[in-house]
């Protein structure tokens, strides 16, 4: 998919309290062709800046800021109608899953681990730019009537995925907050694709997949799992349950589009 928005057309809001780190990242961004980089030190300054300019902006933020954590910054952005679609990249040396989980569930484009090189930052930057670009290589006729069941206990994640689906031209989207609710919906109506999280209350993604493959009258429906789960044993169990594809959170918009296209052609 060709970029319809070049990096030169984008603005980056860099939220970094360390002047040394900010200068390093800014040089990397400029080397990638980004012409406009605004640096702020706090989350409150970032939110104030985004109220003035939020179109074609990518936010790159550290996790630990003087006033709020980066996780709180992205949560505040997702709660604002003007800012909820802004691509967010977290830069952090933090590895604890419980700390990073809010970012994974927020619809962040990438988490770049410190220390990082320009190539790693570039990948995250292009993933964010791809999120801003409408797809050009999707067969609209193929998916305009697609019926999708979206299953995730996180409202923020559902909103993020819904936006990506709607960008593809998919409008027939039904949402469920867990596997149990999804089962009830599957008993009532036919769907063409199930997109589900793994970790959910009542019935998780693995149990939902097993139900679909062994008990549902829609046993052949493609199941795409989008998850922040890192346990390889659990993911292997999901694959054995019959999931069609697995995509990590945070995910790249292009990957989701590709996985959806692949799952529908199998």
Lowest mean pLDDT among 37-46, 114-123, 125-134: 125-134
How far apart CA 223 and CA 148 sit, in angstroms, is 10
Does a structural domain hold residue 36?
Answer: yes
Q: Which domain holds residue 231?
A: 140-264
Does a structural domain hold residue 220?
Answer: yes
Range 97-120 average pLDDT: 82
Query: Mean pLDDT across the chain, nearest whole number?
Result: 85
158-214 pLDDT, tens digit per residue, is 888 888 888 777 889 999 999 999 999 999 999 989 999 988 999 999 999 999 999
Percent of the chain with pLDDT over 70: 91
Same domain, 200 and 158: yes
pLDDT at 266: 58
Lowest mean pLDDT among 27-36, 70-79, 86-95, 224-233: 224-233
Q: Structurally, how many domains does the chain consist of?
A: 2
pLDDT at 47: 95
pLDDT at 217: 93
Higher pLDDT, 44 or 106: 44
121-135 pLDDT, tens digit per residue, is 888 888 788 777 655
Q: How confident is the model at residue 114 (pLDDT cuts 50, 70, 90)?
A: confident
pLDDT at 56: 81
* Residue where a domain terminates, one of 82, 110, 132: 132
Same domain, 85 and 119: yes
Range 44-48 average pLDDT: 96
Same domain, 21 and 65: yes
The string of DSSP codes covering the chain is ---SS-GGG-EEEEE-S-HHHHHHHHHHHHHTT--EEEEESSHHHHHHHHHH--TTEEEEEESB-SSSBHHHHHHHHHTSTTTTTS-EEEEE----HHHHHHHHHTT-SEEEESS--HHHHHHHHHHHHHHHSPPSS--HHHHTT-EEEEE-S-HHHHHHHHHHHHHTT--EEEEESSHHHHHHHHHHS--SEEEE-SS-SSS-HHHHHHHHHHT-TTTTS-EEEEE----HHHHHHHHHHT-SEEEESS--HHHHHHHHHHHH--
Q: How confident is the model at residue 243 (pLDDT cuts 50, 70, 90)?
A: confident
Whether the predicted pLDDT of 136 surpasses 60 = no
pLDDT at 40: 96
pLDDT at 194: 94
Same domain, 234 and 218: yes
Whether the predicted pLDDT of 78 surpasses 70 = yes
Does a structural domain hold residue 2?
Answer: no
Does a structural domain hold residue 1?
Answer: no
Cα distances from 75 to residues 54, 86, 157, 238, in angstroms, run: 16, 12, 11, 29
* Residue where a domain terminates, one of 132, 160, 183: 132
pLDDT at 3: 42
Higher pLDDT, 140 or 4: 140
Same domain, 103 and 172: no
Same domain, 103 and 202: no
């Amino acid at each position: 998919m060709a970029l319809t928005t070049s990096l030169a057309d984008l603005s980056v809001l860099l939220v970094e309290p360390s002047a040394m780190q900010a200068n390093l990242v800014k040089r990397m961004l400029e080397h990638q062709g980004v012409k406009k980089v605004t640096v702020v030190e706090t989350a409150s300054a970032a939110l104030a800046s985004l109220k003035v300019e939020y179109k074609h902006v990518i936010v790159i933020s550290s996790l630990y800021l003087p006033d709020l954590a980066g996780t709180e910054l992205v949560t505040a952005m997702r709660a604002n109608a003007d800012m909820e679609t802004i691509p967010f990249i977290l830069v952090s040396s933090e590895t604890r899953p419980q700390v990073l989980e809010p970012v994974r569930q927020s619809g962040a484009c990438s988490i770049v681990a410190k220390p990082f090189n320009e190539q790693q930052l570039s990948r995250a930057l292009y993933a964010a730019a791809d999120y801003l670009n409408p797809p050009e290589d999707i067969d609209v006729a193929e998916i305009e009537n697609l019926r999708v069941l979206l299953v995730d206990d996180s409202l923020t994640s559902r909103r993020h995925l819904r936006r990506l689906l709607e960008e593809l031209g998919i409008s027939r989207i039904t949402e469920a907050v867990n596997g149990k609710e999804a089962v009830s919906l599957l008993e009532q109506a036919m769907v063409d694709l199930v997109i589900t999280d793994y970790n959910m209350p009542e019935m998780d993604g693995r149990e939902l997949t097993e139900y679909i493959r062994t008990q549902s009258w829609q046993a052949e429906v493609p199941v795409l799992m989008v998850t922040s789960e890192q346990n390889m044993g659990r993911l292997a169990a999901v694959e054995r349950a019959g999931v069609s594809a697995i995509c990590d959170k945070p995910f790249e918009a292009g990957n989701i589009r590709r996985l959806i296209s692949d799952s529908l052609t199998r």
